[in-house]
C-alpha cells in the first residue's frame, strides 16, 4: 500500500488571505483523515505565508494518522520538530525566499550539515526523509548521511508525462531500485495529480508514500474534498 499524505498548505493560504479562521485548518485536517487520507503534510515557512508556527503545533493535536513536517533545517524548523514531534521530518533545500520546492538536495556538497541535521532528527525519535532528484549518486549520498527515506522530486516527471510517460518515468524506476538496494524508504511529491499519479504508482511498486497538496486542493474545488481524497486513493491502490 502506498500512503496518501495531504499537504494542507493551500488551505492556510486561503485562510490567511482573509484573516480569521475560515477555513479552519485543524478541521480540514480532521476531515481529510476521516475521508481516507493516511497522513497530513505541512511546510511551515519562516515568512508564515501559509502554515504558521502555531498551526504546526495545533495540528499535532488532531493528526492521528501520520504527521509529516517539511522544511529547510534552520533553528526555527527544529524548534517546531521538538514541540510538535511529527512522525516524519522531510528536509528540503529551499531557503526562506523560495516560492516552492523545485529541486532536490546536492547532498555531497552539504554532507556534514545534513548528517548532523539527520542525527538531530533521529535523536528526537522522528523518522527522517530527504528531498532528492531521481539520481543514483544523490540517493547513495542520502544513505551515507543516515536518512531513513528519500522523497523523490517529481516535478520533471509531471512535466515529461505529457510528452512521453514512459521516458519520464524511467529515471524514477531506476531511482527506486537504487533506494531499495540501499534499504531506504521511498516517498514522492511535487506536481503529482489525477492525470499522472496512477501511471507513476504502477511503475514504482516500492513507493511508500506520496505527498500531494496543490492538485488535491484544486481538484477539491470541483469535486469536494471527500470525493477528491477517494479519487487519489483509487489512483494509488
Q: Which residues are catalytic?
A: 43, 70, 190
Q: Which residues contact 173 (CB under 8 A, 6 or more apart)?
A: 203, 204
Instruction: Please enumerate, as own/partner, the contacts of 133-139 that have beta carbons within 8 Å and a separation of 24 or more.
Output: 133/103, 133/104, 134/171, 134/172, 134/174, 134/175, 135/104, 135/171, 135/175, 136/174, 136/175, 136/178, 137/108, 138/104, 138/105, 138/106, 138/107, 138/108, 139/175, 139/178, 139/179, 139/182, 139/184
Query: Which residue from 144, 143, 171, 177 is spatially nearest to 156, judged by alpha carbons?
Result: 171
CA distances from 73 to 47, 53, 160 (A): 15, 14, 30
Q: What share of the chain is helix, strand, coil (3-state, %, to 5)?
A: 50, 15, 35
Amino acid at each position: 500500500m502506498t500512503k496518501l499524505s495531504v499537504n494542507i498548505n493551500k488551505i492556510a493560504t486561503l485562510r490567511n488571505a482573509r484573516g480569521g479562521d475560515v477555513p479552519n485548518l485543524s478541521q480540514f485536517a480532521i476531515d481529510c483523515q476521516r475521508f481516507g487520507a493516511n497522513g497530513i503534510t505541512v511546510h511551515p515557512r519562516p515568512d508564515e505565508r501559509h502554515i504558521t508556527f502555531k498551526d504546526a503545533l495545533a495540528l499535532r493535536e488532531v493528526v492521528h494518522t501520520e504527521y509529516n513536517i517539511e522544511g529547510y533545517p534552520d533553528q526555527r524548523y527544529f524548534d517546531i520538530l521538538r514541540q510538535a514531534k511529527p512522525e516524519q521530518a522531510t528536509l528540503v533545500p529551499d531557503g526562506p525566499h523560495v516560492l516552492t520546492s523545485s529541486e532536490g538536495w546536492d547532498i555531497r556538497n552539504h554532507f556534514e550539515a545534513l548528517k548532523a541535521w539527520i542525527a538531530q532528527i533521529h535523536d528526537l525519535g522522528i523518522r527522517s526523509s530527504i528531498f532528492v532528484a531521481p539520481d543514483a549518486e544523490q540517493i547513495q549520498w542520502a544513505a551515507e548521511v543516515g536518512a531513513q527515506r528519500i522523497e523523490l522530486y517529481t516535478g520533471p516527471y509531471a512535466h515529461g508525462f505529457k510528452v512521453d510517460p514512459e521516458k519520464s518515468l524511467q529515471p524514477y524506476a531506476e531511482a527506486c531500485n537504487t533506494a531499495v538496494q540501499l534499504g531506504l524508504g521511498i516517498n514522492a511529491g511535487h506536481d503529482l495529480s489525477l492525470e499522472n499519479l496512477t501511471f507513476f504508482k504502477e511503475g514504482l511498486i516500492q513507493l511508500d508514500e506520496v505527498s500531494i497538496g496543490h492538485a488535491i486542493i484544486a481538484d477539491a474545488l470541483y469535486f469536494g474534498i471527500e470525493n477528491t481524497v477517494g479519487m487519489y486513493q483509487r489512483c494509488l491502490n
